[in-house]
Structure 1
Amino acid sequence: MEKIHEYFKTLVPITDEEALFFSSKLTMRNFKRNTFVLQSGKIENYLSFIEKGTIRYFTEREDKEITFGFALAGSFESAYDSFLKQTPSHYHIQALEDTVLWSISYDDLQEVYTRTSVGQLIGRKASEELFILKSEREKSLLLYSARERYEMLLSKNPELFRKIPLKYIASYLGITPQALSRIRRRIS
């Protein structure tokens, strides 16, 4: 819980009273490696802060998994479109390693919004973080080659390459594992 408090303090000025109220609405959830945090078809009921672990977002098409996002410790995670609309998710969220989440339910977040001034700010920061990740991913697929996407991902998030199997990274980059191997060989 300390990590989330420290993170919130970097985002917004928060009083001890507001922090205590917000904390009272958080639930710690633990997920073992390779288990689902959320499965496609289920409604996302939580906005979560990752204290420990790594998350993968993926969908399935034609018996193939397509990875479209990752989230690391110290960031927010959610099937945010499902969370906001309270409709079933069209994708899975998977813990790639043992993961600890501090989660707030949709209803509790609405209460925090109405009862504290800081709740709106924290909610906005979380949604901005999730939006920026999504828009950066879309931009990279539209504007850059596979090699450029790989190099940008490596320079921005070298930790991903230590934590995430290369087959998932290849899928995220929109290439095959073999193409990723060729890119890595050329760069080395």
Structure 2
Amino acid sequence: MEFIREHIEAFSVLTDSDWLYFSSRLVQRNFKKRTVILRHNEVEDHISFIGEGVVRLYIPHELKEKEVTFGFSFKNQFISAYDSFLTRTPSLYELETLSETTLYSISYKDLQDVYDNTQFGNLIGRLTSERLFLLKSKREQSLLNETAEQRYFKLFKERPELLNVIPLKYVSSYIGVTPQALSRIRKRIN
């Protein structure tokens, strides 16, 4: 779990005692590809750090083709249905792995304990909140200011390896177009 410490220390220095206190509460959870790790109407009880894998955030629908994908999280990023985590209310969306995924998770109860007993606690809470807010803000601005083609290009410019991991039906939903429109975008780009 030292890589998590290194990631956090890119923002702030941790004392050894704070790191030990925090890391002792992290639980490694392994998931197979295409596992729903949080279902609609469940209360999110974890904030997790992705050690390996890709997680999709989406609004489920009875008809699979009508699901709305609104986010992806990748290795070395935090993942949570954060609104549900904070408010302790049922989630309106689901989290699903798109590849074999390893998460290092801390429960709500344990995080409250870390907040109360370490100097580092408030920092990790703030960093997680800021990261999740920035992702949300970036997504909203992208939908308002960029074309679907720009969103597609940007997604794969930032993460080219995703072409092998994320099914195109999720990409089309994420950038806000039909699979047919995505096919036309891909032909223009190629």
Same fold (TM over 0.5): yes
Q: For 2:77 and 2:18, how far apart are their aligned partners in 1?
A: 20
Q: Which residue is equivalent to 1:67?
A: 69
Count of paired positions: 188
Could you list the structure 1 runs, at least 4 aligned residues long, displaced by more than 6 angstroms after superposition.
none
Whether the aligned pair in 2 keeps the contact of 1:27 and 1:103 (CA below 8 Å) is yes
Q: CA deviation at 1:178?
A: 1.3
Root mean square deviation, CA, Å: 1.1
Larger CA deviation: 52-61 vs 149-158:
149-158
Where 2:140 maps in the other structure, the secondary structure is helix
* Cα distance per residue 1:5-63 (max 9 Å; x no partner): 22122121101111100011111111111011100010000000000111000012462
1:173 pairs, out of 172, 175, 179, with 175
User: Gaps (5+ residues) in structure 2?
Assistant: none
1:99 pairs, out of 95, 101, 116, with 101
Q: Which residue is equivalent to 1:53?
A: 53
Q: For 1:165 and 1:181, how far apart are their aligned partners in 2?
A: 13
Q: Which residue is equivalent to 1:142?
A: 144
Q: For 1:31 and 1:154, how far apart are their aligned partners in 2?
A: 24
Q: Which residue is equivalent to 1:26?
A: 26
2:123 pairs, out of 105, 121, 124, with 121
TM (norm. structure 2) is 0.95
Whether the aligned pair in 2 keeps the contact of 1:12 and 1:122 (CA below 8 Å) is no
Q: Which residue is equivalent to 2:133?
A: 131
Q: For 1:186 and 1:168, how far apart are their aligned partners in 2?
A: 19
Q: CA deviation at 1:147?
A: 1.1
What percent of counterpart residues are identical?
52
User: Gaps (5+ residues) in structure 1?
Assistant: none
Q: Which residue is equivalent to 2:12?
A: 12
